Amino acid sequence: MNASSDLRTMRIPLKHGAGQMPALGFGTLISDLSLTITATRDALEAGFRHLDCAERYANEREVGTALQTGLAAGGISREDIFITTKLWNTNHRPERVEPAFEASLERLGLKYLDLYLIHTPFAFRPGDDQDPRDQNGNVLYDSGVTLLDTWTAMESLVDHGKCGAIGLSDIGLNELKPLYESARIKPAVVQVESHPYLPETELLGFCKQKGIVFLAFAPLGHGMRPGLLEDPVVSAVAARVGKTPAQVLLAWAVQRGTGVLTTPRSAARARENFDISALPEDAVDEISRIQIRERLNPVVTTGVPGFIPKVRGA
Ligand SMILES: NC(=O)c1ccc[n+]([C@@H]2O[C@H](COP(=O)([O-])OP(=O)(O)OC[C@H]3O[C@@H](n4cnc5c(N)ncnc54)[C@H](OP(=O)(O)O)[C@@H]3O)[C@@H](O)[C@H]2O)c1
């Protein structure tokens, strides 16, 4: 990438799928339903053309409403927008994959998806309860289905022309490697937590080598304070380049060759988070040399989401 590239509109071609994913994406993990509508609308107005959704976020219908409003307002067509949603853990059984996909499409008001991800590699007991537990509060996993079984059903969705690409989320290298080897259609995208405190260098290296797009969530450390937004190195770079810490963190992610998802909840923050520009290479390196290591979301080890509100009726 050269320093004059416009990070705001940069698109990453999918090697193992159709289309190009805008590097800068808007995440819809917002618990309040009316806020989901306004934040999604504000993100589209600010210029975001990549929406990350999930069945588990229980707000696909509201994202769809905002999307239809954005499209109707003119100037944007469906083809301009890259839309992802995710298969939840309770739908890993192959016969549940297509119905779950169709239900998401219906809620979003779409005819096709650009990307469908397996939300986590953990299969939960199949059924309508998205958080099945035993009487002691332990998660009920489903040992009757493998990740490859689920992946094969995902491949059929691509075969039938229903989505342009498929991928995985919250997966580690040890699970990704065998799946990658066995897959007929290779994962186009892997979505994981990543930021300067969790650079996931080895996973990123594997993805780059295999032509898989690495998509980072929680780039601002989920807005937790104290945290990345107050990190002294990030703040010093921000002061030097005349940008905010959030803009610096998002630019860093794109400049290291990843896609990135952020969740601004107001129009002003949507404009701020979209208005990123390339950092000087020495600033990128300085941030990459931060030694603090911290994972914020335990979902990768359990399949239980760390940031998700209690689910409401979808
Ligand atoms: N695959 C998975 O398991 C998984 C897990 C988590 C997230 N995700 C996806 O990734 C997306 C992004 O994750 P995330 O929500 O953790 O992202 P994030 O952008 O790191 O964190 C969002 C938080 O940062 C704050 N924020 C946003 N812009 C800011 C700014 N300019 N200055 C200061 N604070 C700012 C917001 O605070 P306010 O609330 O004050 O606005 C919000 O609470 C999610 O929406 C979802 O789509 C996926």
Q: How far apart are CA 115 and CA 14, in angstroms?
A: 10
Supply the pLDDT for residue 306.
77
Handedness of CA 239, 43, 130, 21 (dihedral sign): negative
Q: What is the mean pLDDT of the chain?
A: 95
Task: Indicate the pairing of strand 24-27 with strand 166-169.
Answer: unpaired
pLDDT in tens, 77-111: 999 999 999 999 999 999 999 999 999 999 999 99
Q: How far apart are CA 284 and CA 251, in angstroms?
A: 9
130 lines ligand 1 (CB under 6 A): no
How much distance in Å is there from the Cα of 178 to the middle of ligand 1? 30
220 lines ligand 1 (CB under 6 A): yes
So which residues are the catalytic ones?
A: 57
Q: Residue 163's closest CA among 185, 178, 184, 179?
A: 185
40 lines ligand 1 (CB under 6 A): no
pLDDT tens across the length of the chain (314 residues): 544 479 999 999 999 999 999 999 999 999 999 999 999 999 999 999 999 999 999 999 999 999 999 998 878 999 999 999 999 999 999 999 999 999 999 999 999 999 999 999 999 999 999 999 999 999 999 999 999 999 999 999 999 998 999 999 999 999 999 999 999 999 999 999 999 999 999 999 999 999 999 999 999 999 988 899 999 999 999 999 999 999 999 999 999 999 999 999 999 999 999 999 999 999 999 999 999 999 999 899 899 987 643 332 33
Give the helix/strand (H/E) hosting 22. strand 20-22
Contacts of 198 (CB under 8 A, 6+ apart): 293, 294, 295, 296
Amino acid making up residue 287: I
Give the helix/strand (H/E) hosting 169. strand 166-169
How much distance in Å is there from the Cα of 220 to the middle of ligand 1? 7
Which residue's CA is the nearest one to ligand 1's atom 25?
Answer: 223
Tell me the two tokens of residue 175. Answer: 């699970």
How much distance in Å is there from the Cα of 19 to the middle of ligand 1? 25
169 lines ligand 1 (CB under 6 A): yes
pTM of the model: 0.96
307 lines ligand 1 (CB under 6 A): yes
